Chain A
Amino acid sequence: MATATAGQTAPTDARAWIQRMNKALVEGNYEGVFEQRSGDRLDTYRILHRFKDGEMVERLVSTDGSGEEQKRKGSQWAQFLPDKRRVRVATRNRAFGYFHTLNGLDEVAARHYDISEAGRGRRLGREVQIIRLEPKDNLRFGYRFWIDVGSALPLRLQRVAHDGKVIKEVTFTFINAPLLSTDISDEQLKVAVDFKGYTLVDQDKFTPFYNSKLKRAFAPQPALMPAGYRVRRFGGQPQEGKTPEPRARFIVSDGVSWADVFLAPVIGEARPDGGRAVEPWATYELQRDGVQVMVVGELPLAAAKAIAEAVRPE
């Protein structure tokens, strides 16, 4: 059984482990099977991840008999749904794939977490380094990682609330890594679903990065954001030669916890401000001057609300 001895070392060492993990998750090559407990759901997926010639290709296969698959190729994401005979596609500009990385964990972000090395253990026959990020307040979630010393991949991870409750857990039950990019062939990365005759649904139409129908440009205002949260980057680029339209999507993060902020014109009757925690996500919606502000993220509801309220006309 995996055991670990408690220990404390300099946070910089723990951050170095996180950086190694970030790199391995994106630029590594691996295949594995993992179980994911999220809220009251449990799913098992097979994943194949390849980084070759600067492009990430990732295939995710559900094992619940539905035949669902997802594939990410560069910024193009697709989900194949045999039961509905549909393929959903969307643009994902972020660098990471299914497993999100903590790229923004710098010294400033680290002020909001207690980051520590918590000893070594063993999982799947491999030595793992346990890293903990405990949130210092209830505006963010913490993480615990069991990082494979050899490949730097997290063989297990937990997302935890301020009170210690585990909100999400991912556990690899099989891992083959590190691999060379040549070890994962194009053939292995092809989806097994025969989707000829399926209907294609472009999700970007519903959640564009820029939207001319927005009468005013809104943005999260730094001075109003909850402590530690910043707009990290903008999704997508305006089309060259076109008059810039108001931005309709932002990513807000404290370096660890993060959320998407969507802006859309209000259609139909006005709705009251409000949010809900749909574990492991929190959503908060409000409407201002004909603009719907929707925050969706892996963070506490209080943070989602504070971020939504920080969105004001530019």
Chain B
Amino acid sequence: MNEQEHSSQLSALFDGQLPPQQAQMVIRRALREPAMRASWERYALIGACLRAEPIAGPLSVADRVQASIAAERELNILPLPARTAQARAAGAGRFNMLGRGALGGAIAAGVAVVSIVVMRAIGPTADSGALIAQGSSEVAAAPLEVAAADGRDSAPGSYITPGTNSPAQPRLVVDATLGHFLVAHSEEAASALRSSYDLVAGGIELTEDQISALR
């Protein structure tokens, strides 16, 4: 079975769509295989975040993800339907299918226990926590997968998963000469250089006409 099929099975498990026997097989395999455990961790985090559940452990990744969600709301980028009571209930309902479905309480409890055990066993260390804050680890990709999963249930164009920003993320540092070329090359570079590359010489005060044209 390839990685894609494993991923698909895990996804189905968390959606409560696997028959009991198959679910048990997937759980056993997840305990054996590191890659699958990593996927399990991501899905468990997604579920926990959607249910607003605290996650035990030395570092609460869920808290960080939720904090970023809260931060995004403060920026008023766009409404966040996933955080409304109705949406949260809907999200929780989807994940609660594990408890209501054919697997019953035993499997649901097993899933929860295995999730926590797996998270504690392979969960982030202080170092990897820093990586998550910079958004460069695989775990940090979890919110993106929430988008994919929940977007499936919503009308096209109506769903948003909050993005992530790390205020402390590293900024590109280059000398002024290279800075000129990078800014001329791309918008992305201009943004990456915004705090480390500054030009005072040659600057002029904006006129009213320029302000009007640029706005």
Contact = CB atoms under 8 A, between A and B. Distances in A.
Contacts of A68: 191, 194
B7 interface: yes
A150 interface: yes
Contact of B140 (A4, A42, A89, A97): A42
Contacts of B162: 173
A84 B149 contact: no
B79 to A, nearest CB: 10
Contacts of A19: none
B192 A38 contact: yes
Nearest to A4: B4
Interface in A184-206: 190-191, 195-206
Contacts of B194: 66, 68, 79, 81, 83-84
Contacts of A202: 202
Contact of A1 (B134, B135, B149, B159): B149
Contacts of B180: 203, 206-207
Interface footprint category on A = 35 or more
Given A66-B194, A124-B147, A40 B184 contact: no
A285 to B, nearest CB: 8
A63 B211 CA distance: 23
Contact of B214 (A66, A195, A205, A249): A195
Contact of A124 (B148, B167, B170, B178): B148
Interface in A39-82: 40-44, 46, 60-66, 68, 70-72, 77-79, 81
Given A70-B191, A200-B210, A65 B166 contact: no
B203 interface: yes
B148 A296 contact: no
B185 interface: yes
B136 interface: yes
B206 A262 contact: no
B204 A195 contact: no
Interface string B50-83: 0000000000000000000000100101100000
B90 interface: no
Interface footprint category on B = 35 or more
A236 B125 CA distance: 52
Contacts of A70: 187, 190-191
A125 B156 CA distance: 6
A20 interface: no
A58 B36 CA distance: 41
A98 interface: yes
Interface stretch (A9-17, A28-36, A137-145): A28-36
B164 A42 contact: yes
Interface string B187-215: 11111101100111011111000110011
Interface stretch (A105-113, A174-182, A305-313): A174-182
Contacts of A224: none
20 contacts: A1-B148, A40-B136, A41-B169, A42-B164, A42-B165, A42-B169, A66-B194, A124-B147, A124-B148, A174-B78, A174-B157, A175-B157, A177-B157, A195-B215, A196-B211, A197-B206, A199-B200, A200-B206, A206-B199, A262-B184
Interface of A: 1-4, 6, 33-38, 40-44, 46, 60-66, 68, 70-72, 77-79, 81, 83-84, 86-90, 97-98, 122-126, 150, 171, 173-177, 190-191, 195-207, 249, 259-260, 262, 278, 280-281, 283, 294, 296-298
List of 7 A-B pairs having minimum Cβ-Cβ separation, nearest first: A42-B135, A44-B163, A124-B151, A174-B160, A1-B11, A199-B203, A207-B184
